[in-house]
Amino acid sequence: MATETNIFQELISHCKEYGYIFQSSELYDGLSAVYDYGQLGAQLKKNLRDEWWKSMTQMHENIVGIDAAIFMHPTVWKASGHVDNFSDPMIDNKDSNKRYRVDHLIEGYAETLDKEAGDAVLAAMDKLIAADDLPGLKALIEEHKIKCGVSKTCNWTDVRQFNLMFSTQIGSVAEEADTIYLRPETAQGIFVNFLNVQKTGRMKIPFGIAQTGKAFRNEIVARQFIFRMREFEQMEMQFFVRPGSQMEWYNYWKDERKKWHQSIGIPADKLRFHDHVKLAHYADAALDIEFEFPFGWKELEGIHSRTDFDLTQHAKFSKKKIQYFDNDLNEEGKPYGNYTPYVVETSVGLDRLFLTVMSLAYTDEKWTKEDGTEDGRIVLKIPAKIAPTKLAILPLLKKDGLPEIAKELMNDCKSNFMCFYEEKDAIGKRYRRMDAIGTPFCVTIDHQTKEDNTVTIRYRDDMRQERIPLADVKKLVMEKLSS
Ligand code: ATP
C-alpha cells in the first residue's frame, strides 16, 4: 500500500520528470535546500503569485504593491531585531559533527513515542523555548537520551543560538567594504518605505502595502523538498491600522486569508489555525494557517499583529519621524492626530503554497476496464485557473490538413491563455502526458473537423469527452477559467 512518505517521494520525482522543479546546480551534484523551477513550475508559480497580487492589490482599493530591493542598509536589520534575535537554538553532535535545530530534534523524537508521551515531551519543550532556557533544552534531550540520527550517540554540545541571516560584502575595496545581509523577510522593505508610499500614494489609514520577492535564511535543517529552503519567495502584506484596532484587523485578515486559500482550491478541512505559544519580540498576537502536508500539519502562512514595533524601531535608528497624521474625527469630535500606526501582517511562502497545490493535485488513479484488465494514470488535478497550461491542441494525424486547423486554433487562443501544441504519438499517450502535467482541457482535431467544423474536447479530471463546434473552443475554455 502506498504510504504518505512514498507518495511524497513520488511527487518529488514527478516534479522533476515533468519539468516542474529541479535541484539547483544538479550538474554539480546539487546545492542543498536550493531548487530551480522548470518550464511548468515557473508558470505555476507565476500564476499563484498573480492570483495573490490580484487579490491583494486589484481587489482592495486600499492596498498597493511595491518591489523593494533585496539588499538594504545594514542598520535596517539592527533596528528590526534580526541581528540580535533572528536565531534558532541549535545543538551539535560531537561524534558526527551534525548540527540540529533543537525543536526539530525533539519533535522527531516525540513522533517515535505514543501520543500521550509525545505530547508531554512537546509541552515540556514549548515551555523551555518560551523561557529561552537553553540549558533546560539540553537537559530535556539528555533526560530522554535522544540520539543523533547519524552517529546514534547522545554526545551533545551545549545548546546555542545560531543566526539565520546570510551576509556578504558591499563595496569594491575590501578594507572599506561593509557587511550587508540578504533579506530574511520582505517585510522590512515595506516598513522603510511606509512614508514614501503613504505620502506619494495619498494613502489613508487603514491601508496596506503588498510585496512579493525572494528571502534568504541559512536554515540548518533544510529538508522536506521546497517546504524549507535557503532561498525562497514570500508574499507579504503589511496592513497599517489605528492603534487599538489591531485585533479587529487581525481577525479580519485571519478569515480573509483562509478564504483566499479556499478560493484557489484548498479544501477547508485541510486548513487549520494554530495560535503561537511563544510570541516573537514584535508581536501582540500571532497564528499560523497550517496545511495538512503529506508529512503532517505544518505552517503555510503566518498572520502577525506586529504592533508599532517596526516603525518605532526604524524611527529610533534612523532618527527620523515616522508617523501618520489622522484627521478623521474621534468620538469627541477631534482629529485623532499624529500616531505611529500598528501593523497586521499576512505572510505566505510562495514555495510552500506551490507544494500545497501539488500535494493536493497529485493523484494516482487506478481502475478496471470493461475487459477486466487494469488501467491507471497519474494526474495532476491542479485547478484550471492556476494550471500552467490551460489547453492542449492535438491534431489526430500529422497530415491531411489537420495540423493547419490546429495551428489556426492555437493562434486564435494563445493571446488569451497558455496553450500547448503537440502532434507526436498516439492520442491516448498524448492525453496521459497532458494529465501528468495537469492540463485541464485537450482538444483533438480529426477528419470529422474538416467535414462539420467540430472537435473533441476532453476534460482532465473525469476524462469525459464531448463534441463541440471548433468556433466555441476559446469561449468555453475562457468560461471555465473564470468560473
Ligand atoms: P518556520 O517556523 O516553518 O521556520 P517561520 O515561522 O519562520 O516558518 P515566517 O517568518 O512567519 O516563517 O515566514 C512567513 C512564511 O514564509 C512562512 O509561513 C512560510 O510559508 C515561508 N517560509 C519561511 N521560511 C521558509 C523557508 N525556509 N522555506 C520556504 N518557505 C519559508
Dump the DSSP string for 279-299: PPTT-SEEEEEEEEETTEEEE
pLDDT of residue 278: 76
Tell me if 213 CB under 6 Å of ligand 1: no
pLDDT of residue 173: 61
pLDDT digits (tens, 9 = 90+) for 58-112: 999 999 999 999 999 999 999 999 998 888 899 999 999 998 989 989 999 998 9
The runs of H, that is alpha helices, within 264-397 are 309-318, 350-361
1 confidence band (pLDDT: 50, 70, 90)? very low
Q: Would you identify the CATH topology of the domain 4-86+166-359?
A: BirA Bifunctional Protein; domain 2 (3.30.930)
CA–CA distance, 9 with 364 (Å, rounded to integer): 13
Tell me if 300 CB under 6 Å of ligand 1: yes
Ligand 1: atom nearest CA of 234 is: 16
Start-to-end CA span in the chain (Å): 37
Tell me if 101 CB under 6 Å of ligand 1: no
**Cβ 254 vs Cβ 303: under 8 Å:** yes
pLDDT digits (tens, 9 = 90+) for 449-467: 999 999 999 999 999 999 9
Cell of 160: 546555542
Q: What is the mean pLDDT of residues 6-20?
A: 95
- Tell me the pTM: 0.90
- Please tell me the distance between residue 265's alpha carbon and the centre of ligand 1 in angstroms: 21
220 confidence band (pLDDT: 50, 70, 90)? confident
Does the pLDDT value for residue 26 go beyond 50? yes
Q: What's the CATH class of domain 389-482?
A: alpha beta
367 confidence band (pLDDT: 50, 70, 90)? very high
Among protein residues, the one whose CA lies closest to atom 31 of ligand 1: 349
177 confidence band (pLDDT: 50, 70, 90)? low
Percentage of the chain modeled with pLDDT above 90: 84
pLDDT digits (tens, 9 = 90+) for 35-61: 999 999 999 999 999 999 999 999 999
Tell me if 352 CB under 6 Å of ligand 1: yes
CATH, range 90-158: 3.30.40
Tell me if 355 CB under 6 Å of ligand 1: no
Judge if 4-86+166-359 and 90-158 fold alike in CATH terms. no
pLDDT digits (tens, 9 = 90+) for 249-288: 999 999 999 999 999 999 999 999 999 977 877 899 999 9
pLDDT of residue 281: 76
Q: Is the peptide bond before 440 cis (omega within 30 degrees of 0)?
A: no
Residue 23 half-sphere exposure, CB side, CA atoms within 13 Å? 13
- Nearest 5 degrees, angle CA 362-CA 365-CA 367? 175
Domain boundaries, the chain: 4-86+166-359, 90-158, 389-482
CA–CA distance, 223 with 475 (Å, rounded to integer): 44
In sequence order, which residues have a C-beta less than 8 Å from that of residue 267 and are 6 or more positions away? 360
pLDDT of residue 135: 95
- Please tell me the distance between residue 263's alpha carbon and the centre of ligand 1 in angstroms: 22
Among protein residues, the one whose CA lies closest to atom 16 of ligand 1: 349
Ligand 1: atom nearest CA of 228 is: 28
- Please tell me the distance between residue 333's alpha carbon and the centre of ligand 1 in angstroms: 43
At 227, which amino acid appears? F
Among protein residues, the one whose CA lies closest to atom 9 of ligand 1: 302
* Residue in 347, 354, 357 to alter for ligand 1 test, most ligand atoms within 8 A of Cβ: 347
